[in-house]
Amino acid sequence: MDEIKSLEEYAQEVVDCIRDRYEHFTFRGQDDIPVIREWYNLGIEPHYVLMAISEERVPERFTFRDIREIVKRWFFRECRQEAEEARRSFSKESLPYNRLEKLYKIVKSVLLELQVKDLSVAEKILSLRNYPNLLEIEKALREIEDEFYAVVEKNSPKVKECREKARKKIEPYSVYWSSKICRLTERALLRECLKREYGIPEFSAV
C-alpha cells in the first residue's frame, strides 16, 4: 500500500471509488468483507480495482464477489509486467531507493507466482526506504533475503530439481569436503538455481 491503511479505511475507500463511477454497483456489507480482505492483504490499491473493472468486461449490475477474480487476474498481470521492467533495469539503476523499489516489485511478483498469501517479506523491502544509513539497509537486506528464500524453498515446485542439480555438482567433492562444507555449498547452489529460475537479482541497494 502507498499509505498504511486499516482494513476498514481501505474498504471504505474502495467502496466509495466504485460507487462514484458505477451506479449499479451493490455493496453487500459483511458478505463482501472476505473479498475486500483478500485484496487488502495482496496490497491491491483502490485505483487498481478501478482500472481492472474499467478494462475488463463486468456485469452491468455487480457486487464485489462478481469482480473478485477479475481484479486479481488484472493485478497479477500488472505485477508481472512491472517485475519484468524492474528486472531489465535493475543492474543499471544507481539510486539506492530506486533499487529497493525495483527489488520489491520483483520479489512481490515471485511471491504472487508461488501463490504465497503473506507478502510481508516484500513489504519489508519497501520499509527500508525510511532507513537513512546504507550500511543498515544492506544489513537488513541480508536478513530479508534469507527470509525470502526460505519462503521460496517452501513453496516453489522447482526446488526439487534445483536441489538435485546442486547435489550432482558437489557429489565428486563429497569425499574430500566435510559435511558442513557440503551442506553450505548445496545451499548456495540451490539459491543460485532459484535465482536463475525466477530472475531474482542481488539483494543490494548499491
Return the number of other C-beta atoms located less than 10 Å from residue 75's C-beta.
Answer: 20
Instruction: Give the pLDDT of residue 55.
Output: 85
Q: How far apart are CA 126 and CA 115, in angstroms?
A: 20
Q: How confident is the model at residue 4 (pLDDT cuts 50, 70, 90)?
A: low
Q: Which three cell numbers stand for residue 179?
A: 559435511
Cβ atoms of 76 and 111 within 8 Å: the answer is no
Is the pLDDT reported for residue 3 higher than 70? no
**CA 153 distance to own-chain centroid:** 15
Is the pLDDT reported for residue 58 higher than 60? yes
Higher pLDDT, 55 or 112: 112
Place of cell 558442513: 180
Amino acid at 5: K
Per-residue pLDDT reduced to its tens digit, 163-203: 999 999 999 998 999 999 999 999 999 999 999 999 999 99
Place of cell 567433492: 173
Is the pLDDT reported for residue 148 higher than 60? yes
Name the DSSP class of 62.
B
The whole-number average pLDDT for the span 54-72 is: 89
What percent of the chain lies above the pLDDT cut of 70?
98
Instruction: Give the pLDDT of residue 5.
Output: 74
Cβ atoms of 71 and 52 within 8 Å: the answer is yes
SS (H, E, C) 162-188: HHHHHHHHHHHHCCCCCHHHHHHHHHH
Q: How far apart are CA 102 and CA 73, in angstroms?
A: 21
Q: How far apart are CA 27 and CA 18, in angstroms?
A: 10
Q: How confident is the model at residue 151 (pLDDT cuts 50, 70, 90)?
A: very high
The whole-number average pLDDT for the span 42-69 is: 89
pTM for this entry = 0.85
The whole-number average pLDDT for the span 109-130 is: 93
3-state SS, residue 80: helix
- Gyration radius of the chain over CA positions: 21
Per-residue pLDDT reduced to its tens digit, 74-119: 999 999 999 999 999 999 999 999 999 999 999 999 999 999 989 9
Q: How far apart are CA 88 and CA 101, in angstroms?
A: 14
61: alpha, beta or left, given left = phi > 0 and alpha = psi -120 to 50?
beta
Give the residue extent of every domain in the chain: 1-83, 91-206
Torsions phi, psi for 198 (to 5 deg): -110, 5
Cβ atoms of 108 and 203 within 8 Å: the answer is no
